[in-house]
Every structure is written in C-alpha cells, then in structure tokens.
Structure 1
Amino acid sequence: MASDLPMLTRVVGGAEENWVKSTAGGTGIAVFGALFNRAIDTQHLSSVVQELLDCYSILRVQIVENAKGKTCFQASESCTAFEYVHERPWPSVEGFDHTGVIMFPKDHHDKHGSLALHKLVTEELNVAFVNAEGKPSPPVRVFQVLVYHSHSKHQTVVLLKLHSGALDRRSGHTVVEEFLGKLNLAVEGRLHHSQSAMSNEGLLAPIEDFIPKGKASKGLLQKGVDVVGYAYNSKKYALLPFDANYNGASKTPFESKIVGVNLGKQGTVSFFEACKRENVSWAAALAAALLKTTAALKELKEKKQDEFNMTIVMDCRQYLEPKLPEAALGNYTLGIPGGEKVKEGIEFWDLARQVNSSIEKDLSKSKQFSEMSVLGMLFSQVMKHPNITPKSSLRTALFNLFVDPPMEAQWKGVGELGLVGTIGPFSSMHFVGPCFCVVETLTDGPELLLSLVYPSPVFSQAQILEILQPSINLLLESCGH
C-alpha cells in the first residue's frame, strides 16, 4: 500500500512556511496555461505527468504536519499520474469581457480559445490547493494538471498549477519546458517511460541553508526594530487609490484578476534597444513608467503624495552558496523592498536611472538576504493582523516586479502539438501582497507580453488598465517608437 512506502521528508524553512500560509490564504497559487489547436489525448498527458513525477521528487510532495506539529514536505517514493491529472468541462465564454485579454494570432476560432484560456487561468488562480476534505490545510499536494477539451472547436487547454510554498516562478518555467517537450514526444509516439528513471534523491534544502555566510545575520532584537521601522515608514508611501466600492476586507471575498498588453515586435525591439542605449535595465525602465503613471493620478496629486514603495523580486539561485542550477526545483526567490520618490515633471529616463541605481545599490548590499527575515516577520504579522494595513486591504506595496531577464516562452521542439500560445505562470496575490504584480513574458518575435495581476474588489479592472495602458504608451514614446 502507498502508506507503507518510505517517504522523503523534511521540515520546511521559514520562508517556505510563510509561503505555505499565504498560498492557503490566496497568495501564491501559480497557474500556467497552454492552448492547442488539436485534441490532446489525456493518456498522453498522463504519461508525461508520470515522467515528471518520476523525475522530480518535489512534484510528488504533499505539505503535511508531523507529530510535533511542524509543517513538512513529504514526497512518496511512488505515485500515479491519475492522482494529479483532472479532466474538466470546456467553459462557456459567452458574454465574457475580453478587455485586457491577450489574443493569440494563431487562434483561428474567433478568439474562442484565447478567451477560454484567459478565463480558465483566472478562475484557477482563485481555487486553493485543498486536502481530501476540501480544506486548504495539510495534507495538500503542490502540483496539479487540468485538461479541457472543446470537441466542437478541436481545441485543448492544459493548465499546470504549482504551489508557491514548494515551487517558485523559475521552477514553474522549468516544469513547463519539460512538460511541453515530453508532451511533443508522447504525441509523436517517442516517449518511452522507464520506471528506472524514478528519482529518490531527496528534497533540496530550503533557501536558508544556502545563504552565504554573514549575509543574513540580524539578531531578534534588530529584526523587531526593523519591522517597526518598516511599519512606521509605510505610512509615508502612497498606494493605488482603492476602488470607490471597496469598504474593507470583511465585506467581499478577494479574487486575483489579470489584464495584459502586448508590446508587439517593433515595440519590443525599440524598448530593449532604448534600455541598452540609456544603460538601464528593462525592469528599471518598466518600473519608472509604472511609477510616473501612478504619480500622475488625480487622487494622489491632490494629496501631494509622490513617494511609493515597490518590491523587486529575483531568482537567487546564482547568489547562493553553493550556487544552484536554474533547473533546481524549489522556492529560491526573494524580494527587496524599496521606496522611490517621483518628483513632478521628472524626465522619464532620469527616473529610470534613479530606479536602476536603487536596484543596483540594494543588490550590492545583498539586501535580498539581509532583509529576508525582517520581511518574513512583517509578512507573517500582516497575515495575522490584516487591520495593520490601510482599510484591512492586505496591501503592502504599490507593485512587485522581477528584475531577472524576462521569462522566455519561446518553446522549442513542440511542432506536433499545434501550440497556439501560452500564458503565465501567473501567481495569485489576493491575500497579502502589493496593489498589483507585474508579470512579463518574452514570446517568439520577440514580443514582450506585460500583464498585471491585481486583487478585486480592492481595485477595479478600469483602475488597473488606467495604470497599465498609459504606462506602456509612456514607455514606447520614451523609446522613440
């Protein structure tokens, strides 16, 4: 019996434990979606999922509590894809609002598939990982695959869901890349499953075990002082004004929603060329556009608020000791909080250089490590006491933005799949988090897709589009496009 099999188990690290709690609340449900212009056989999907489960112990993990009440990762030495692959009915998109939806040029079915994909991904961002009793408490799995078939349109949507307690954005990309490659082999009849490929190498240690010596050495007293400092300083930072109909966290359940825009091939090329010419990172330029647009909002100008806090987020594998390869699965992502003052009339590239300098300064001081425990403590306190945030909104910053190179979605070796397009991985953020998260994807062309994930009803779609579209317009105008 499965219960008699030896398990691969370890207690979660502090950062992982915070993610486990936040994901149960609604921040960290990661979803990737793919649309195919063909029927994908569920048996092929199951074979591929079995290969992934056999290769990666972390995908077989359940989050459990041990006898001492500690949260643990526990991976079975054996499991079947049947437990992870779920068929669901194709959704109706009649009357679905397509504002802010990325439409794929290859979708030859009146954009039916693009709308269905966006709708399904958004819905699943708001469905928690649950146990056998339907509750978001241990034991819960960290990986799930959902498949939807449109027999009339001859289309298939596949979603991969990942729990951020165990798997970060880089891990999600690695899993997706392997999934699509193996699925192509399965469709071609060239995927040869081998039980000997089963991996029981154990689970990688948490990020705390890889932090370079001396980089995260704050004592408990200093952590407490810094937490109080963060809480006090947060009052001077402006958030995005709340929607007029939002009255507080207790009134309506929060949901994560998505809007996106495509810069197009020429816009993308102009953007990257301008960043290179001005010697600023793409992330600093995008942050400057978002900051300048937000600072121009009428509600904030009337209050003369022009200082904002944002969190830059990064994959830390290359900064660890020893370094971890990009393909190492786990959660090795950290953030650095920072405040930026946006003076009225500041020239766009001057602001971009200001942001770029702030990011470089924080990285040179290894703040992703030194501030980790402080932010973890603050994060934990907000989860316990939402009322310490404005209107119990759970909002802790204006936005989160990755500073790594844009995540590439230029999939190779997928010619037999009829792949129309992919979106994500997106991560839910309607529990503790910023006003919006920035998600970037670089597709073939190259074309840069920029999406904002935001909590509703704290903010409305119209408000977020009022930030996104003018920011992109400012960006492109400043790049000479």
Structure 2
Amino acid sequence: MGDAPTNFESQTRLLGGTEQNWCKAVAGGTGITALALQISKEPNVPQFKKALQKLQNDHPTLNSMLHKNPSTCSTSFIINPPIPHIRLNIINQLKTSELLKTLTSRSFNASLSPLHVILEHEMNINEWSDVASRSSCMGGLHLWFANLYTLPDQKWVLVLRLHAGICDRTTAVSLLKELKEAMGEGGTGGYKEKRNVGIEELVPVGKTKKTLWAHGKDMVAYSVNSLTLTNLKFKDVKSPRRSEVVRLKMNTQETDLLLAGCKIRGIKLCGALIAATLLATHSSKRRPGNYHRKKYGVVFLNDCRPYLQPSLSAHEFGFYHSAISTSQEVKGEETLWDLATKIYMTFENSKNNNKHFSDMADLNFLMSKAIENPSLTPSSSLRTSLVSAFEDPIIECSSDIERDLGLDDYIGCASAHGIGPSIGLFDTVRDGQLDCACVYPAPLHSREQMQELLAKMKVILLESLKMEGKA
C-alpha cells in the first residue's frame, strides 16, 4: 500500500456518552457519513493509496476499531491496532454499470446522476448494524472504508464512508482537505492529531452544571414539547427505511443576495434555510387564507471545538458537535426574513446560555430512550424534529489541486433513516454557489414529496430575494 504504516502503541479507551449514543444511532441507520467525489481524470491509484495511508498515520482516530466487550457490555475504541486496515477497494466498470442499472431501475431514480446514485448506495451500507455480535467474533469493527467506482466515459467516483463516532461534519471537511493535499503534487499536509478523547472530557468546568431539579424539569419539558410538534406528512411508516438525498442549488447571484440578506440582519445562512423549510412545510398543511399556528421541531448542530478546554483545531478528528433543540411556531403569514431572524436568535440565545453543553446529557438520554422505544415518537417514525441544520455552512473555492485531479463534483452528508429529523440540511457554498444536500428517510417520505418541498423552498427564497432587491 505504498509507504509502510507508522507504528504506534495500541491503546484502548472507553467511549464517551455522545460517542456511545452515536454507536446506537449508526446501528439503526443514522450517522453513516459519506463523501463522494466524481473525477474525470484517470486516478493515480498508488497515489490514492499513499494519501489514504498518510491520513491514517496522521490521525490515529482513523486507525481505530470499535470493540464491545460481551462480558462487561462496555464499548471501546481500539486505537492503532497492530495491523492498519484501510485499503482502496476498486470496483471495475462492469460491476459499477450493473450496480447503477439496478439502482436506477427504482422509482424516481432514473434522472439521478451516477455520483448521486452511488452516494445514496454507500450511505445505506451499514457495516455497524449489529455491533455486539459482529465485534465479539471479529475483535472489533473498522470505522471507515474507501471505494473507487469506475464509470463509463472516463469518469470515476471515490467514496469515503465513515462512522459518525469518529467523524462529525468538521472532521469530514478536514479529511477531504487533507486528502486533496496529500494527493496533490508535493502536498505534505503536516496535520498531526494530538488528542483522542470524548467531547465530555473537554467541556469547560461549570458549563454543564445543572441541579437535579433543573435536569428533571428540562427532561419533562423536552418530552412534553415533543408531543405538540407538527411533522411532515409520513408516506409509509411500515416499510424498511433507507436514506435518500435531494439537492437544493442556487446560482452565484442568488447565493450572493441570500448571504448578503443574512449578513445585514446579523444572522447565519442556517436561519434562512430553516425558515424556508418551515414555511414550505406549513404551506402544504393549510388552505389559502387560513392561518393557523403550528409548532415545528428544529435542531441546530454546532461545532464545539473552539469552546472546549483546551480548544481543538479543525484537524482534530472525532465527534465534537453538540445539538441545541428548539421549537418554532409558524402561522404562515410571516416573511422569510422575519422568521429566519426569530429562528436564528432563538438558537443564539440558547448557545449564549451554554445550552449546547448543559443539555448535552439530557438530549443524549432522550435520544437513547427513543432509539430503544420507537413508539415514544409519532407513528414510531423515530422523527425527533422536522429539520436539522448546522450553525455554519461549508465555504469552499476550487483549487489548482482539484483541477489537477479532475474533480468535477462532490457531495458530503450523513444518513438519517434511523433516529433523526425529516430533513437534514448539509449546506455548502462552493465557488460562490449554494449546494445544499438534503437528507431524508425513505419511504417514510418519498423523493417526489421532498422534491416538491425543495421546489417550494426555492420559490420562497427567491421571492424574498426579489423583495430584498426592491427594498
């Protein structure tokens, strides 16, 4: 595989509370992270392999295995096992064509690009669906995989698939950045992981402080509030689920206006995207002229690395995001910008009150109980909110390295067909254009339903931008 792997002493550490929860979630289908890259230049396979090995050498987290001790029922990371596992699995053109033929034969899949189809396929490959039995037989489960699919017309799709326990969104972005640098001519990267601990161990002293009464009060509030939330209409609550993706795109001019509108109001892009999602959902539930308030669940995910003690860089791999769960009332007569400002300020106030730390244990507990008891959620759907979004978008510009590699397009997101929202927003501004991957559980929701919802969202956004231009 190129250069010999760097040898480190193997270590074992127990998972933190958040990591434990992600193991439960991933086993059920939520948190399988996939990065899919379409390349139009024949890849240098030895260079690919060498780049993957470098990532593993620089990040012991990537050279970890998940192990469950059957006698103690404790789950651990085995860090730096004696034999590094990552390998590049190459799927030839014949097998790729057969796979695409099978996948595109499904309803509403025929119009999707090969990149899109392969991404969805990978998001639904669950190596971790039965951790307990498999890890006891194998000694541990690998936590990431690399597959290279060969397409016709001199195109290839490289997919990295990772377990959420070692890969939050920031990790995924840094991983892609380091991979491109390592594959570039003379690219050295030079990122060395310094820590491998759960987020709970790095929360600043006092930030999680909460009395027993406060814990109980908040738990009851979250539970009772969830019963009042409105959901997107469920299409099929009984069939086995998988994650699917629809993409919301805007051109450079539209994206500039949208970002400018957010900046003027002192809010972030997530506020506008969530507002559009809520208004589009609400419009499908009411008759024209009939305004009736409904409450929707909204979950914000924010990267806690800058707020930890000590703070972590974006190149410390692992899961260091936290969730802030909120609810928003919508009547339907609100403007996009008024609702967006209200939504974002609710999140900002919660964050200023350290809810991303103080509610961490409570939300982990409730998430765990919902996984164990799906009947606690509407129609046993495991939907905990209408929509989830990240505090900050990914901002990227094409580089010489990408052009040298022939990188045409890529999508990064994570599965959500276990516990989670009806819509997970993964927003990227690439070369000044918005490209938002929207993940949803199918057939709980249908592709046709989600495409219609995204069309409404885009109309709402564009109409608001037109009004902005007239103001």
TM-score (norm 1): 0.86
For the aligned residue pairs, the C-alpha RMSD in angstroms reads: 3.0
Q: Is the 8 A contact 2:269 2:392 kept in 1?
A: no
Q: Structure 1 residues 143 and 155 mapped into 2: Cα distance closer, same or farther (>3 Å)?
A: same
Given that residues 68 and 132 in structure 2 are in contact (C-alpha distance below 8 angstroms), is that contact kept between their aligned partners in structure 1?
no
Structure-2 residue corresponding to 1:271: 258
Aligned to 1:281: 268
Whether the 8 Å contact between 2:9 and 2:80 is mirrored in structure 1 is yes
* Identity across the alignment (%): 28
Cα offsets for 1:127-184 (capped at 9, x unmatched): 112499997656211111111123x411111001111012111001111111112122
Q: In the alignment, what sits opposite 1:259? A: 246
* 1:58-457 mapped onto 2 (5 Å cutoff): 58-66=61-69, 68-76=72-80, 78-80=82-84, 83-88=86-91, 89-92=95-98, 93-94=100-101, 96=104, 115-130=113-128, 137=135, 139-150=140-151, 152-185=152-185, 190=186, 203-219=195-211, 222-243=214-235, 246=236, 248=237, 251-298=238-285, 304=292, 306-408=294-396, 410-411=398-399, 413-424=401-412, 426-444=413-431, 446-457=432-443
How many pairs align? 452
Q: 1:39·1:149 contact (CA, 8 Å) conserved in 2?
A: no
> Per-residue deviation at 1:68?
3.3
Cα deviation, 1:37-78, whole Å, max 9, x if unaligned, reads 122133222111111111110000001124633111112255
| Deviation for aligned residue 1:405 | 3.6
Q: Deviations over 1:256-285 (max 9, x none)?
A: 000002101111111112222333322111
Report the secondary structure of 1:208's partner residue: helix
Contact 2:428/2:434 (<8 A) preserved: yes
Q: Distance in 2 between matches of 1:255 and 1:129?
A: 14
Q: List runs of 5+ in structure 2 lacking aligned partners.
A: none
- CA pair 191-325 structure 1, distance change in 2 beyond 3 A: closer
Q: Which moved more, 1:328-337 or 1:218-227?
A: 218-227
Please say if residues 202 and 310 of structure 2, whose CA atoms lie closer than 8 Å, have aligned partners that are also in contact: yes
**What CA distance in whole angstroms lies between the structure 2 residues aligned with 1:344 and 1:281?**
22
State the Cα deviation string for residues 192-215 of structure 1 (Å, max 9, x = none): 89xxx997x775211111111111
Preserved CA contact (<8 Å) 1:317 1:325: yes
User: Are 1:409 and 1:441, in contact at CA under 8 Å, matched by a contact in 2?
Assistant: no
SS of alignment partner, residue 34 of structure 1: strand
Q: 1:159 to 1:131 in 2, by over 3 A?
A: same
Q: Which segments of 5 or more consecutive residues in structure 1 lack a partner in the other structure? A: 102-110
Instruction: Provide the C-alpha distance between the structure 1 equivalents of 2:419 and 2:394, rounded to a whole number of angstroms.
Output: 24
Distance 1:198 1:365, change over 3 A: closer
Q: Does the 8 Å CA contact 1:289/1:474 hold for their aligned counterparts?
A: yes
- Hey, what's the Cα distance between the residues in 1 that align with 2:261 and 2:449? 28
CA distance in 2, matches of 1:5, 1:277: 50
Change beyond 3 A, Cα 1:333–1:191: closer
CA distance in 2 between counterparts of 1:100 and 1:449 reads 21
- In 1, distance between residues paired with 2:451 and 2:37? 24
- What per-residue deviation string (whole Å, max 9, x for no partner) do you get for residues 399-422 of structure 1? 101112435364552332111111
